[in-house]
Amino acid sequence: MSENATIDPGRAEELRDQAVTQLVTDGTIVSQRVEAAMRAVPRERFAPEAALEDVYSPYGAVITKRDEHRVAVSSVSAAQIQAMMLEQADLRPGHRVLEIGSGGYNAALLAEIVGPGGAVTTIDIDPEVTERATRLLKENGYERVRVVRADAAQGVPEHAPYDRILVTAGAWDIPPAWMDQLAAGGRLVVPLRMRNLTRSISFLKSGDHLTSTSARICGFVPMQGAEEHRETLVLVNGTEEIALRFDDEVPADPHQLDNAILHPRVETWTGVTVGLQEVIDTLQLYLATHLPGFCIMAVDPNLDTGLVSPNNPRFSLAAVDDDTFAYLVTRRTPEEQSVEYGIHAYGPHGAAFADAVSEHVRTWAREQRGGPGPRIDVYPVSADVAADLVITKMHTRVTFTWPPATAAG
C-alpha cells in the first residue's frame, strides 16, 4: 500500500485549490486548460514522501532522489515552474507530446491537457526514476502515458513527430534529435543554460532553426547522460576560496589571474538604481551576451577570508579580462527603496575594466531596461549564422537579437 493511504483527501484538495488559486492570482496560470489540469491531478500522490504542506507550497520543489553527495538528481518541480512551462508550451487537446525528464506528475498534467485524443511519452535515463513514474502513473489512472528508459539525447523517434517537446531537466545544448523529432511549427520548451544563466525558453520550429517566443528565469536539476555538461571552475589566487564559473567560453590562460587579488580593489558606482522588487533578468542576459569573459563568481563560505565582498557569495555576476576580474555589487540608496549597482575590480587593469563593465550596465539601463529582452534563435552548429552575438555549443549556435533602444520599455 502506498504512503498516500494515510493522507486526508479533503485536506489535500483544499491545499491544492489554494495553491492553484495563488498561481492564478500571481499571473503564472493564465489559461483554463492549465488551471483545470492542476486542479484535477493530485500532486501529493506523485510525492508521497513529502508532507502535504511541502507538496502544495506553490514555489517549492520536492526532491525525490539525491546522489551519493546529497545533490538533488530528481525532483517534482515547483508548481509555479510547472505551470509556467505548461503555459509556454500552449498545449491543446490532441497534441502529441514528448517529455524529457520523468517524474510522473508533470506527465499526468500533460495527459490531462491533451486528453484521450492526444499522446504523452516521457523519457528518463535513470531506471529508478522511470520505474517510479510508471508505478505512480498507473496507480493514479494515467496508464496511457508511455514511459521510456533511455538517454534522452536521442529522443523517442518511434513516436515522432511531436507537436510539443517539454524538457524538465537543465540542458546546456539542444541535441539534433529534439529538433528533428519536433513537428513543423511545433514548440520546444527547454530550460537552456547560456553562460551560466538558465532560462525556460519556448521555441517555435521554423525551417531548420528555432525562434524564441518567451524566456523565463528558472532553475532545474541538470541533465545526465550524453548531454551532461559540467562548468569549468577557474580558481582565483590558486585557492578554492574564490571560484569563477564558466559554462561556455573559458579564458585562454586562467593563471593570469593568480595575482589579481593582490592588487588594491577598485570600486566604481554606476548611478544606475533599481527598485527592490524590480525584475532585472534582462540585465543578467545583457551582460552575459555583451560582456566578454562573463562568468559567475562563487565564494566558499568555509574558506572565506574577506578577500572579496559580494552581496551574494554563491552567485555574483562577474567577468574576466586577461589578468583582471570584476563583479557586480549593490548598495542601498539613502531612501532604502532601491539599490545602486556598482563594480569591484581586481588586477593590474582594474580601473579600466571597472569602467568598461559600468558602461555596459548604464547602456542596459538606457536602452533595454524594462524591455522584452532578446530574441533567441538556435541553429545547427554547421549553419553560417550572420549575427553579432553568438554562443557556439556542441550541436548548436545560439544567437541573440536585442531590440532597438527605442523599443525598450
pLDDT digit string, tens, across residues 195-231: 999 999 999 999 999 999 999 998 887 788 888 888 8
The model's pTM is: 0.91
Per cent of the chain over pLDDT 90 is 76
Question: SS3 helix, strand, coil % of the chain, rounded to 5?
Answer: 30, 30, 35
**What residue spans define the domains of the chain?**
3-227, 232-367
Residue range 10-20: mean pLDDT, rounded:
95
Known catalytic residues? 77
Q: What does residue 377 show for φ and ψ, rounded to 5 degrees?
A: -120, 145
229-253 pLDDT, tens digit per residue, is: 888 999 998 778 999 999 888 888 8
Average pLDDT, the chain: 92
Q: In what order do the strands lie in the sheet with 338-346?
A: 232-236, 242-246, 294-299, 316-321, 324-332, 338-346, 266-275
Choices 3.90.1170.50, 3.40.50.150, 1.10.274.10, 2.60.40.10: CATH for 3-227: 3.40.50.150
Residue range 12-31: mean pLDDT, rounded:
96
Residue position matching grid coordinates 495563488:
22
- Cis before 161? omega within 30: yes
Distance CA 280, CA 286 (A): 10
Positions of E strands within 195-241:
197-206, 209-217, 232-236
What pLDDT was estimated at residue 69? 59
